[in-house]
Amino acid sequence: MEQMTVNDWEELKQGLQQQGYIADDSTAMLLSISVLLNKPILIEGPAGAGKTELAKAWSHYLHRKLIRLQCYEGIDEAKALYDWNYQKQLLYIQAQGAAPTNWSATTQSIYAKEFLLTRPLLEAISSKLPSVLLIDEIDKSDEEFESFLLEILSDWQISIPETGTVTAASIPSVILTSNNSRNLSHALRRRCLYLYLDYPSEQRELEILKLYFPTLNDVLGKQAVAFVRRVRLEKCKKHPSISEVIDWVTVLSHLGVQELSAGTVISTVNILLKYREDCLNIIEKMNQKDWLRGLPNL
């Protein structure tokens, strides 16, 4: 695609919507700015607010491959950057004989590219075509891994001791996501643009449902959104994500529901909530008139 400018953010909003993602003005503007400044974006917010889906829609809009690095506790360079295929190397050595006569040549051979296991970070900077690199849930990694990541985001090159330095063939668009399970360093934040992505507003969530269900009954759509927003105000182990709301409305539509009732909600609430305590708590709340006040026809 042609070089994007900051003024293209309205067009970007429309493009993301065509990919199934409804972005607000600030989100579209920040994506445009990230292209202009060639900077990563750090997106924080509750789980299920659409952080990962934004990266997917962004890659589709740019017509770029999405390369995803899923972080977890204990992730290290071997899982994020590269590793060697030790089994294949061993087989190669065995094929050369029990005692290779030229060990130097053998060593050079077993560290050829064919033995290299490319992980997401190396794949992203090795690609000749620009990609979208999603570093998902960076807060689950430790501070040591975060420091290692900083070097790559700063220099866009990777040093492989056995083969040398790999300099980026293209600079990927980078999105990092965090669910705020731990504080990220100032150094990482300084290198990124920042976006807090909360659950959508009532109007935007209704627009999302209309995008997925063009023939959705207006009454049912407003009821579903109002109920979900009320649930998100409660103390839950896990609040309903946008994708779970879409699943819920899919089921309601399949059942032919035109208008929510307390009975329908109770029988389908486990599509929205994934912990028994949360389900029981909301069902109990629904027996309280004060809690139902303001919810249309419930």
Kindly report the CATH number assigned to the domain that includes residue 165: 3.40.50.300
In this structure, the answer to whether residues 21 and 154 fall within a common structural domain is: yes
Number of domains the chain is built from: 3
In this structure, the answer to whether residues 181 and 66 fall within a common structural domain is: yes
Tell me whether residue 298 is in a domain: no
C-alpha distance from residue 214 to each of 57, 174, 260, 281 (Å):
19, 32, 18, 32
pLDDT higher for 4 or 236?
236
Q: Can you tell me the distance from the alpha carbon of 179 to that of 123, in angstroms, rounded to the nearest whole number? A: 25
Contact yes or no for 168/127 (Cβ under 8 A): no
Q: Can you tell me the distance from the alpha carbon of 190 to that of 151, in angstroms, rounded to the nearest whole number? A: 13
Buried b (16+ CB within 10 A) or exposed e, 177-210: bbbeeeebeeebeebbbebebebbeeeebbebbe
Tell me which residue range forms the domain holding 176. 6-75+124-196
What number is the average pLDDT over the span 289-297? 71
pLDDT higher for 105 or 217?
217
In this structure, the answer to whether residues 50 and 149 fall within a common structural domain is: yes
Task: Choose one of 144, 166, 196: the last residue of a domain.
Answer: 196
pLDDT of 211-267, one tens digit each? 999 999 999 999 999 999 999 999 999 999 999 999 999 999 999 999 999 899 999
Q: Can you tell me the distance from the alpha carbon of 164 to that of 218, in angstroms, rounded to the nearest whole number? A: 61
Task: Choose one of 118, 136, 171: the last residue of a domain.
Answer: 118
In this structure, the answer to whether residues 55 and 110 fall within a common structural domain is: no
pLDDT of 44-54, one tens digit each? 999 999 999 99
- Of 239, 240, 252, 257, give the one whose Cα is nearest residue 212: 252
In this structure, the answer to whether residues 18 and 163 fall within a common structural domain is: yes
What number is the average pLDDT over the span 84-91? 80
In this structure, the answer to whether residues 236 and 111 fall within a common structural domain is: no
Mean pLDDT check: name the lowest of 1-15, 119-133, 147-161, 246-260: 1-15
- Residues in Cβ contact with 112 at an 8 Å cutoff, skipping those fewer than 6 apart: none
Tell me whether residue 99 is in a domain: yes
In this structure, the answer to whether residues 19 and 103 fall within a common structural domain is: no
In this structure, the answer to whether residues 185 and 51 fall within a common structural domain is: yes
Tell me whether residue 297 is in a domain: no
Q: Can you tell me the distance from the alpha carbon of 282 to that of 137, in angstroms, rounded to the nearest whole number? A: 28
In this structure, the answer to whether residues 175 and 46 fall within a common structural domain is: yes
In this structure, the answer to whether residues 182 and 95 fall within a common structural domain is: no
Task: Choose one of 181, 196, 211: the last residue of a domain.
Answer: 196
In this structure, the answer to whether residues 138 and 179 fall within a common structural domain is: yes
In this structure, the answer to whether residues 91 and 211 fall within a common structural domain is: no
Distance, C-alpha 104 to centroid of its chain: 44
